[in-house]
Amino acid sequence: MATTSRVPAAVDALLAILRAAPPLAQVRIVDGPEPTNLTDRRRIHIGWSPGAEGAVELEQEFNGAGARTRDERFEIACYAEVRAGDKDMAARRSDVFALVAEVESALRATDAAPTAPTLAGTVLWAELTTGNLTQAQTPEGAQAGLDFTISCRARI
């Protein structure tokens, strides 16, 4: 079957990598959006962010003369959120950045996961590139969220 994009395989691989990362074992890794669940106090959404216009933004062009292959660049919208029953915003801010640091670590090559930066071979490379912190005091306590982007390059 011919492929017109590496996006579906890359998103699936990113989800699998994060779900298998031991430091994220107690974090809910969500595929896309889902209704807010206040019992999940630590979540990472892949393919969704509250302010994003889309799940993945992509762009393609021919790789060179002859039009045999195409280069694809895409950005996967992601969102990490941490909630607590207290009003300690500094702790929530630190917690959400620690969560995203674990995502970044999971995308680095290691002896145990040499293909992590290529999302298990689905892309040429993937990296965390942008972020945007949001904070709120809610009736349930302090909440910190971090929109972040995983940027990828692939050849199809």
pLDDT, tens digit (0-9, with 9 covering 90-100), for 68-87: 788 999 999 999 999 988 99
Instruction: Calculate Rg over the CA atoms of the chain.
Output: 17
Structural domain includes residue 71: yes
Model confidence pLDDT, tens digit, residues 13-58: 999 999 999 999 999 999 999 876 667 789 999 999 998 889 999 9
Number of domains in the chain: 1
Cα 79 to the center of its chain, rounded Å: 7
CA distance 45 to 31: 6
From the list 34, 22, 13, 36, the residue with the least C-alpha distance to 124 is 13
pTM over 0.85: yes
CA angle 106, 51, 31 (to 5 degrees): 45
Structural domain includes residue 155: no
From the list 29, 1, 26, 27, the residue with the least C-alpha distance to 13 is 29
Structural domain includes residue 83: yes
Hey, what are 156's tokens? Answer: 């199809």
- The domain containing residue 80 runs over which residues? 7-140
> Residue 117's CB: how many other CB atoms inside 10 A?
17
Structural domain includes residue 133: yes
